[in-house]
Structure 1
Amino acid sequence: MAAPSRTKVIIAGAGIAGPILAIFLKMKGYEPVVYERVDELADVGLSLCLQPNGLRVLSLIPGFVERIIGKPLEKIMHHSILPDESTVLVDSDIPALLPERTGFTLTGVRRPVFNRTIVEAAQEHGVEIVFGHQLVDLKESEDSVEVTFANGTKDTASFVVGCDGIHSNTRICLFGKEPVDFTGLIQTGGVSPTPEEFKQHPALRNIYADGAHLICYPISDTQTSWAITLREPEAKETWRAMDEERQQAFKNGPFSQWGFGTGGMIHAADRIIKYGLYDRPELKTWHKGRVVLLGDAAHPTSPHLGQGANQAFEDIYYLVLQLTRHNAAAAPPSTALLGTIFAAYEAARVERTSVLVRGARKQGENRVVQGVEACRARDREVREAWADADATLAGYLQLYGQPWPLDGKSEI
């Protein structure tokens, strides 16, 4: 007798979330296929900071964390640069304390390198990844979903998960086009050789100035990624490099004069990109019928808390958890059963991600203030927020000791 066919799942997007979800589904007995709109992985984007909540999920894939190329961080530092005044506001060892409490610490990774690692790991697990296929339409039947791609091809699966990021076509298919609002903030960033003064203690550094904020952290033994947030006219979310003339102007501009090692770092950048930060409407539900959203497709966030990828990994954990609880045999689920699974997944995730999205937006507003007195008030708030090291660590663990209790065990 032939073995029963596996339940096929189409995943839209081979970025940070899609291939990781595919690995988990493969391990649980499903047959995931990942479709990615671009023809090949490109060197797009800068970096991300993996945090304990995200790394705990990734650690459930045997051997995966060990192959991540990145740089563990030991400190979090905050500096202020104002006219005739440069100050260290905070010098915290919290990242060095996290391994004992969580098993993991903050780790800086270069996004394109991390993306390739994820895709390679998925392919090694037997996951099919198909490039050059952009989802443009969905048609549901009683027990399946037909997906149409921009090139005219079609495929059918039991259910579909949209992991196709902030410009999600899956989301548009479910809920229509939505207004997109420019936040008034833009980021300009790059990757540079790590300054000598940064090498002794790998740290996530925040630099506050009048009308500007810089964040930087190492992504390898020799490279540091950085991004400056400013209030400027609208810039599109292309994540592509600026032209050479504008890159040189930025490298030689006023930021190249900043202290604490940052000026030389900016001047030495190998490539500079510029992109606007946008808000999307907050969804109250992430699913419809046999289709569900995950990660940035469900809850796009500004980068100011460093939780975009980490929250996507939490999403993966809770979606797979509900699939395991309600469909342990990985059998083809009915639409009603998928409704139960997706609703339980949302119940665990919608409020948490909404709080973090709003928190990231507020963090960005608080960091980029103008006028010396307003900057000094901001600097006082930063100092006060970090004054009690024990309380700060406890607060961090409460927020990012997810997705399951630190003293408990994963259920998947």
Structure 2
Amino acid sequence: MANTKVIIAGCGIAGPILALFLKQKGYEPVIYERTETVTDAGLSLCLQPNGLAVISQIPGLVESLVGSPIERLLFYSELPEDKGVLADTDAPSKMKEAYGHSMLGVKRTAFHHALIDAAKKAGIEIAFGHRLVSLKQDDKSVTVTFENGNTATGSFVVGCDGLHSDTRACLFGKEQATYTGLSQCGGISPTPEVLHAQATIMNVFGNGSHFIAYPCNQFETSWATTRREPEAKETWRSMDQDAQDKFKQESMFLKWDTGVGELVRTAGKLVKYGLYDRPELSTWHRGRVVLLGDAAHPTSPHLGQGANQAFEDCNLLTQLLEQKNPEAAEPSTEILEKIFTEYEKARIPRSAEMVKGARRQGEQRVMEGVDACKQRNDRIRSIYKDDESIGKMYEKTLKCFARETAADSPL
């Protein structure tokens, strides 16, 4: 008897992980990706303990990754009225002992290729150039039609197609994204000498601006600026060359300390993108089709939990399939309804807290006005003032990694 075919829309970060889990459980996942080939969109990811705990269940995957374990947190203020180090701690180096995994900075393109390679080695079919345009369901299957005219039929469909999910649009209609007022510009640069001693996540704060950087391998550091600016498109693609040159030559960040100016000057390509909010969904499924990752709960990047939350989605959905359909047979719509409902019951509240927490974190990082910036600086000093305070911060972070909430996490 043929294995149960599952259609996965999207071969970004979540799609291959889900496919690998489903393959382990006896399903036959097929990934359909709208782009013609693997893209180089995006910069980097910080894989956190909750995400690493999930993907470590895939034999050999974590060991194959080229990245940099994070050892140090540095907070620095460029506010002229309150300039200097706010906090400097090696707390990240102790995460593995506390949570089983540490934090790992990786280049997004390298990580993406590692996932695709793992999927191909597992015998998972990936079809590029297939943009989903419609879905037709019956009691036993779903037929997907693609923009190129091809069709595919599977037992059920999982939409892993990201921020601009076509699966989500098919299920719930097109939605209006709302610009948050914040945009980011970032790049990848050779790691400055000042940051070589320890692999450091560095947060640098100005008046109405924020700069974050962390290593993504032994030699390179990924960084991004956040500012309040007129609306910018959410493309995650490279800026044109003139705009890149102007940023590297005229940016306010060139004068900042702790290696910030050097990172800006020496970057390769620069990308710029607006940060947008999307409506929160009360359900992620209809019939035999369900959403996962950014397709279900898109988030701003300020907690670094986007990919990590997608991995949690993959893990729980696979566990529920194994519990309620242990033979990996063709599931009835009734069984899928139970699985998808239980999946949503656990994941919607958690992911919603993460989205709200990331939004608050962005607002706190990009404070405007001297008094507001000083208050933010004092809050950071208070959190990291001594071992006891750091321990309390750890407890909040532990709740995040234990799947409760990351709304107040200062990381």
TM-score tier, shorter chain, comes to over 0.9
Query: Is the contact made by 1:194 and 1:218 (CA closer than 8 Å) also made in structure 2?
Result: yes
What is the rounded CA distance, in whole Å, between the counterparts of 2:115 and 2:122 in structure 1? 11
SS at match of 2:271: strand
1:286 partner letter: W
For 2:204, the equivalent position in structure 1 comes to 207
State the shift of 1:402 in Å.
Answer: 4.1
Alignment size in residue pairs: 400
For 1:60, the equivalent position in structure 2 comes to 57
1:39 partner letter: E
Query: Is the contact made by 1:29 and 1:330 (CA closer than 8 Å) also made in structure 2?
Result: yes
Query: What RMSD in Å do the two structures reach over aligned CA positions?
Result: 1.0
State the shift of 1:221 in Å.
Answer: 0.8
2:200 partner letter: A
For 2:396, the equivalent position in structure 1 comes to 395
1:323 partner letter: L
> Which digits, 9 at most, give the CA deviation of each residue in 1:40-90, with x for residues without a partner?
112111011000000000010111110011110101111100126531111
Query: Is residue 19 of structure 2 the alignment partner of residue 22 of structure 1?
Result: yes
For 2:274, the equivalent position in structure 1 comes to 276
SS at match of 2:96: helix
* One of 86, 91, 95 as aligned partner of 2:88: 91
SS at match of 1:252: helix
For 1:331, the equivalent position in structure 2 comes to 329
- Tell me whether 362-371 or 7-16 shows the greater mean CA deviation: 362-371
Aligned pairs for 1:140-179 within 5 A: 140-179=137-176
> Which digits, 9 at most, give the CA deviation of each residue in 1:136-155, with x for residues without a partner?
10000110000000101000
1:116 partner letter: H
For 2:301, the equivalent position in structure 1 comes to 303
For 1:36, the equivalent position in structure 2 comes to 33
What is the rounded CA distance, in whole Å, between the counterparts of 1:334 and 1:305 in structure 2? 38
SS at match of 2:83: strand
What is the rounded CA distance, in whole Å, between the counterparts of 1:287 and 1:385 in structure 2? 40
* One of 106, 121, 125 as aligned partner of 2:122: 125
What is the rounded CA distance, in whole Å, between the counterparts of 2:234 and 2:375 in structure 1? 31
2:197 partner letter: Q
SS at match of 1:186: strand
State the shift of 1:401 in Å.
Answer: 3.0
- Tell me whether 191-200 or 253-262 shows the greater mean CA deviation: 253-262
Query: Is the contact made by 2:6 and 2:30 (CA closer than 8 Å) also made in structure 1?
Result: yes
> Which digits, 9 at most, give the CA deviation of each residue in 1:330-362, with x for residues without a partner?
000000110000011111100000001000001
What is the rounded CA distance, in whole Å, between the counterparts of 2:176 and 2:193 in structure 1? 45
Ranges of 4+ aligned residues in structure 1 off by more than 4 Å: none
1:315 partner letter: D
State the shift of 1:397 in Å.
Answer: 1.1
For 1:263, the equivalent position in structure 2 comes to 261
For 1:115, the equivalent position in structure 2 comes to 112
SS at match of 1:233: coil
Query: Is the contact made by 2:162 and 2:298 (CA closer than 8 Å) also made in structure 1?
Result: yes
* One of 241, 244, 248 as aligned partner of 2:245: 248
Query: Is the contact made by 2:82 and 2:374 (CA closer than 8 Å) also made in structure 1?
Result: no
2:244 partner letter: Q
* One of 202, 214, 218 as aligned partner of 2:215: 218
State the shift of 1:260 in Å.
Answer: 1.1
Query: Is the contact made by 1:52 and 1:401 (CA closer than 8 Å) also made in structure 2?
Result: no
For 1:237, the equivalent position in structure 2 comes to 234
* One of 20, 40, 49 as aligned partner of 2:46: 49
What is the rounded CA distance, in whole Å, between the counterparts of 1:84 and 1:390 in structure 2? 29
For 2:369, the equivalent position in structure 1 comes to 371
Query: Is the contact made by 1:137 and 1:147 (CA closer than 8 Å) also made in structure 2?
Result: yes
State the shift of 1:104 in Å.
Answer: 1.1
2:289 partner letter: V
